[in-house]
Amino acid sequence: MQHSAYPDRYDQSQAIAQNLISRANGLPGGGLQPAGPGSAQVLIAGMDSSLYHEVRYPDGNWTGFGGLGRTAESVSVAGMKDGSAQVVIVGSDDRVYHQVRYRDGSWSGFAGLPGIGTTLPAGAKKVAIAGLPDGSSQVLIIGTDDRVYHEVRYPNGNWSGFAQIPGIGAANFMTAQAISIAGMPDGSSQVLVVGLDGKVYHQVRHADGNWTGFNGLPGIGTTAAAGGKKVAITGMSDGSAQVLIIGTDNSVYHEIRYANGNWTGFAGVPGIGTTAAAGAKEISIGADPDNSAQVVIIGLDNHVYHEIRYANANWTGAVSTACPASAQPTPPPAPQR
């Protein structure tokens, strides 16, 4: 069943697992197929841990969610320039799996991504994936040891294998509790993490494979790294990147990294009917070819919301979007007296 992108209200899935929206990240060729340029794909793991997928068409209509027949603890999806999408998950067995959604809407089926020194799928807590202009993709995971690992899937389908990401200063590894990655038009990628210290850090992987090292992103009114719980980043067609975080106050904040490396600083993203920053449990952001961005959050009320930030910096304001009824939780028991 189709749903409007702008309903008054739906009875939402109260999904508390990852909710991610994938765009073409400003890459040549535009949006995802079969929906076409300007479309978006949303992937969630519901309260029952089942995976659901949905497409938002350029005219604002939604396909409605369809189940993928798999459970997951963490999910991520990346749009590719050929119109396909790639999905990476942490399964219920705490292992990492990957699959492709082809532009005709068919799926390849999940396959494990081997860990370092083993043919078994890598163990992980969190996953993230981004598409690159050359048709490759890059995967980030937080391993069961809390370290951040990175690997490349080349356009021919071969994989580089996982390697640790350099940490802060002389550290040869980074530990984290939340991760996100964005592909950039110049072939670089940008990584955003919340470290185990609860602070937000950013670094760039250049197209030649070299890393800049992590730097803290200052909070509002301070030079110290912002505190955060969740992070999301997307690459824009003009070479800039847009960042979302959920702060330690559970509010959503946004900032831009310009193509020259300068930052705007964080500002709150207003909630519905208020100028105060929206509260959220999960966040995601994706880029449109026209340099606008689309945001999906799971609010503190466990409802799923969508909004657009136009290229002129105006926001549409958040609206509810439909989720699968089968992902709704069992009503809570009556209070004990």
CA 135 to chain centre: 18
pLDDT grade, residue 24 (50/70/90)?
A: very low
Contact of 53 with 74, CB cutoff 8 Å = no
Domains detected in the chain:
19-327 (2.120.10.70)
For residue 41, pLDDT over 90 is answered with no
Tokens 């912002």 found at? 226
Contact of 175 with 195, CB cutoff 8 Å = yes
Q: What is the pLDDT of residues 53-73, one digit of tens each?
A: 887 777 878 788 888 888 888
Q: Give the residue with greater pLDDT, 258 vs 272.
A: 258
- Among 181, 174, 182, 172, smallest CA distance to 199 is for 174
pLDDT at 290: 87
pLDDT grade, residue 322 (50/70/90)?
A: low
pLDDT grade, residue 268 (50/70/90)?
A: very high
Longest dimension (CA), the chain: 64
What's this model's pTM, rounded to 2 decimal places?
A: 0.82
pLDDT grade, residue 35 (50/70/90)?
A: very low
Q: What is the pLDDT of residues 147-181, one digit of tens each?
A: 999 999 999 999 999 999 988 887 789 999 999 99
pLDDT grade, residue 37 (50/70/90)?
A: low
For residue 22, pLDDT over 80 is answered with no
Long-range contacts of 245-248 (CB under 8 A, 24+ apart): 245/194, 245/200, 245/217, 245/283, 246/280, 246/281, 246/282, 246/283, 247/219, 247/277, 248/198
pLDDT at 336: 37
Q: Which residues pair with 118 in a beta bridge?
A: none
| Percentage above 70 pLDDT, the chain | 83
Rg of the chain (C-alpha set): 18
How far from 153 is each of 11, 60, 113, 237, 276, CA to CA, in Å?
38, 31, 10, 22, 41
